[in-house]
Amino acid sequence: MKKWVYFIGIISTGVILVMIFFVITKNEDESNEYDNSLEDIPIPTIVKTVDGYRVLNVPKEKEAEYLFGLETEPGETFNDRSFKVFQVINDIAALVRGKDEYGNYSGMIYFLVGDSDATFYDDQIIKVPRGKSARMVGTYKYTTKSGEHKTVPKIRILDQK
């Protein structure tokens, strides 16, 4: 008789554990119903293209912010009114030089971030339109061909404050 009681105890314990398992998995399925709504939210994705980098799932005008981590509030205003591109980073960013005191493009180096429709090419002269100025929006770090580490102002051409 004791063997039957022992056997029934094992069977009933197994049945209870299976029922608990089904209750837990049913609750998880119901809670995932709400989490699945997050799949509909587009996640910004940076992809490498032939022309440089692009950010998917964000408005084109916000692309530069995701690529270059631009500060929300522009800072210092620079007096330079024109720049010469010496290295294109991608479609919307380039390393540029301002003019020196003699009017040559051998002045300060900047990392210029353009608008989403910007196109840069080597030796391009970029003029700051009237009513706009070059404003600092952060810093950019890079390594030169000779292995030096440089940090330069990251700028955008924005409305004057």
Residue 84 has a pLDDT of 96
pLDDT digits (tens, 9 = 90+) for 87-136: 988 878 899 999 998 999 999 999 998 876 788 999 999 999 999 999 98
Longest dimension (CA), the chain: 109
Residue 20 has a pLDDT of 82
List, in sequence order, every beta strand (DSSP E) within 4-72: 45-49, 52-56
More confident residue, 67 or 99: 99
Nearest to 150 by CA among 84, 56, 87: 87
Rounded alpha-carbon distances, angstroms, from residue 22 to 31, 68, 135: 14, 48, 61
DSSP reduced 3-state for 34: helix
**What's the DSSP call for residue 70?**
-
DSSP reduced 3-state for 141: strand
- Per the listing, tokens 């929300």 go with 72
Residue 108 has a pLDDT of 93
